[in-house]
Amino acid sequence: MHRFAVTHKLRIGGGIVVALLFLLPVFWMVLTSFKFQRDIFTTPPTVFFTPTLENYSNYLQRSSIPYQMLNTAIVAFGSGLISIFTGAMAGYALARLRIRGAGLLGVLILMSRGVPPIALAVPMFLVGRSLGLIDKHIFLILAYCTFLIPYVMWLMRSFFIALPKELEESAMIDGCSRFGAFFKIIVPISLPGLLSTLIFCVILAWEELLFAIVLTNRVASTVPVAIANIAGDTVNGANWGALTAVGTMTVIPVVIFALLVQKWLIQGLADGATKG
Amino acid sequence: MSNVKTEHRPARRFQSETLLDLVSRWAFMVPAGLILVAMLAYPILYTLEISFALIDLSTFQVTEWVGWENYEFVLSDSRFWASLKVTAVYLALSLPLQMVLGFGIAYLINVEWKGRGFIRALFLIPMVVAPVVAGGVWRMMLDPLYGLTNYLLSFVGLGPYDWLGDSWLAMLTIVIIDTWRWTPFIVLIATASILSLSRDIFEAADIDGANWWTKLWSISIPLLLPMIVATFIVRWLGAVKMFDIALAATGGGPGAATQVINLYIYEEAFRSLHFAESAAMAMIVLVGTMMLTGVFLRGSRKLEDLY
């Protein structure tokens, strides 16, 4: 029993060390974002310093970042909501409504996860350009739906299959239409699943870069584009203060969000992998 | 009761009701279907179309059909092959590394104590750091002069390394960043699947006097195999899309040492404006990804049958 207790403690200790190691880059990013320029470029790196909000105030006042934050939120929530609404309905149809060819549709959805986004970005750019859709929020929102809807369909399909059939049957005997049964009975009891899937979608859209670079210029540009520009600025050199400040502002809301709903999120992750 | 008794009703009424029912069933598919046809199916067909065409850069319109010319050009382009090789090396290094680390860490942290849920939640954090932020922040941490990594490594007598200046180290950098961001994802899935294993089997094995290696090899791995395979396929489908981290951390450099295929196609399309050639490359990558995914799915089924 004694040896068991020792390995038990070792594993707990090991787990904590590994977790902290994984958090180190995030911690370092937040720390650097509060440093003056003179404390950032030092050898060896500075750990104790006089904190400043300079990096934040610089970027919040003199740049397009606040505007890009707003765009990112609009696009992330817009595409998340559209995807959860349309994807859940389609997932329900695949799960319950005995659609002819449902199996084939399922395979197609799974395959769509293998489509490289660049194969979509090129035609979207060319068509969007001639239709005047480039730099419009709605175009980026719809572009994000291409990877969010299949994801929602697949997750919600397995979610709906697991529900007891008697639910809608009794509702329809009571005179509900199929839509009525879905929206009045199925949606309310699936709310936790729908919500965790929505959160996933918002996070995925929040951090997307490729479509955002290709399909926006200024009006609908998002924060990941700004970060890519700061990180890849070879003319002025890396502005680490800006990078970490903007990075922290992008990451912290998502982290808080994720930790608040961590139980659902972890469940959703496990379902996404196994049932997918 | 109306639904149950439909079959006893007059034929005409029956037909119109099932037709209505059929329409209402398909109506659930319509919104998602419309978006996916317009934004997913049509663009793929358009890519296929322009991969056989010549595009006029003043109007961005197709001017001429050139047959397989774009494909021939791409297949003889050494930079295309080089970026495929870079992608293959990246996948071959990072996928196994992430799988082993992910399941290993999940096994490690799966100890019963009151902080278990908290530790597990901490692993959510790297996962929700945007890849482009991860790339940028790691670029800062790996800076040869001011970076934290070389400083920490100096305590164990290693380095200094020019992480982003050397071809192999730059590739390793990409693998490290990707592994940092995605291992937690695998840890969380693996933890959930390990927790779902029944305890009775392990208790029975304990009674039979099995050591931990036997338990791992003969019980845990076979039982976890469907999960391991599913996780691998999800991770594979994500990893072939690698773009953000490479763009933010190395920009494909030094030279083209970390120019993964998506980055190369992106540069060809939107910096060099070679839309037709990049469409041909995108189609090749699309077909290749589908074929390999099919092979993995088939292989996974064979593997599961084996146990």
Domain boundaries, chain B: 6-50, 72-306
pTM for this one?
0.88
**Which burial class, exposed, middle or buried, applies to A259 when counting CB atoms under 10 A from its CB (0-12, 13-18, 19+)?**
middle
pLDDT for B93 equals: 96
pLDDT over 80 at B139, yes or no? yes
Residue B158 clears pLDDT 90, i.e. is over it: no
Q: Residue window 116-135, chain A: list those with CB within 8 Å of chain B.
A: 116-127, 129-130
Task: Tell me what the mean pLDDT of segment B221-245 comes to.
Answer: 88
Q: Does B156 touch chain A (CB under 8 A)?
A: no
**pLDDT score of B24:** 83
Q: Rounded to a whole number, what is the distance in Å from the CA of A185 to chain B's nearest CA?
A: 15
* Chain B residues within an 8 Å CB radius of A14: 108-109
* Per-residue pLDDT reduced to its tens digit, A47-84: 777 788 888 888 777 778 888 999 999 999 999 999 99
The answer on pLDDT for B130 being more than 80 is: yes
What is residue B69's DSSP assignment? H
The amino acid that residue A50 corresponds to is T
Chain A CB contacts of B61 under 8 Å are 130
What 3-state class would DSSP assign to B264? helix
Closest by CA to B283, choosing from B40, B39, B48, is B48
Is residue A177 in a domain? yes
Write the pLDDT tens digit of every residue in A96-135.
887 777 888 888 887 888 888 999 999 999 999 889 999 9
In a domain, A221, yes or no: yes
Range of the domain at A68: 52-274
What b/e string do you get for B242-269 counting C-beta neighbours within 10 Å, with b at 16 or more? bbbbbbbbbbbbeebbbbbbbbbbbbbb
- For residue A226 the two structure tokens come to 């700004």
At which residue do the structure tokens 């310093």 appear?
A: A49
Q: Is A38 contained in some domain?
A: no
Minimal CA separation from A24 to chain B, in Å: 10
Q: Indicate if the pLDDT at residue B90 is higher than 70.
A: yes
A7 belongs to a structural domain: no
CB contacts, 8 Å: A270 with chain B: 188-189, 192-193
CA distance A8 to chain B (A): 7
| Dihedral (CA of A43, A48, A49, A55) sign | positive
pLDDT band of B1, cuts 50, 70, 90: very low
- Give the ranges where chain A is alpha helix by DSSP (H): 2-33, 37-40, 54-62, 65-96, 102-112, 117-131, 137-161, 166-173, 178-180, 187-189, 191-206, 210-215, 223-231, 240-260, 262-274
Tell me which DSSP letter residue A67 carries: H
In a domain, A261, yes or no: yes
**The total number of structural domains that make up chain A:** 1
Phi, psi for B55 (deg, rounded to 5) = -110, 130
Classify residue B10 as exposed, middle or buried by CB count within 10 Å of its CB (0-12, 13-18, 19+).
exposed
Q: Which residues of B122-142 are buried (b: 16+ CB within 10 A; e: fewer)?
A: bbbbbbbbbbbbbbbbbbbbb
Within-domain flag for A8: no
| Three-class DSSP category at B61 | strand
Fold of B72-306: MetI-like fold (1.10.3720)
pLDDT attached to residue B17:
63
- Indicate which CATH number applies to the domain containing A90: 1.10.3720.10
Report whether A58 contacts A122 (CB < 8 A): no
Residue A239 located in a structural domain: yes
Verify whether the Cβ–Cβ distance B26 to A11 is below 8 Å: no
Question: CA–CA distance from B178 to each of A206, A231, A258, B243 (Å)?
Answer: 18, 17, 20, 11
Q: Is residue A206 part of a domain?
A: yes
Mean pLDDT of B91-96: 95
The interface pTM score, or ipTM, of the predicted complex is 0.87
Q: Is A167 on the interface with B (CB under 8 A)?
A: no
- Grade residue A234 by pLDDT with cuts at 50, 70 and 90: low
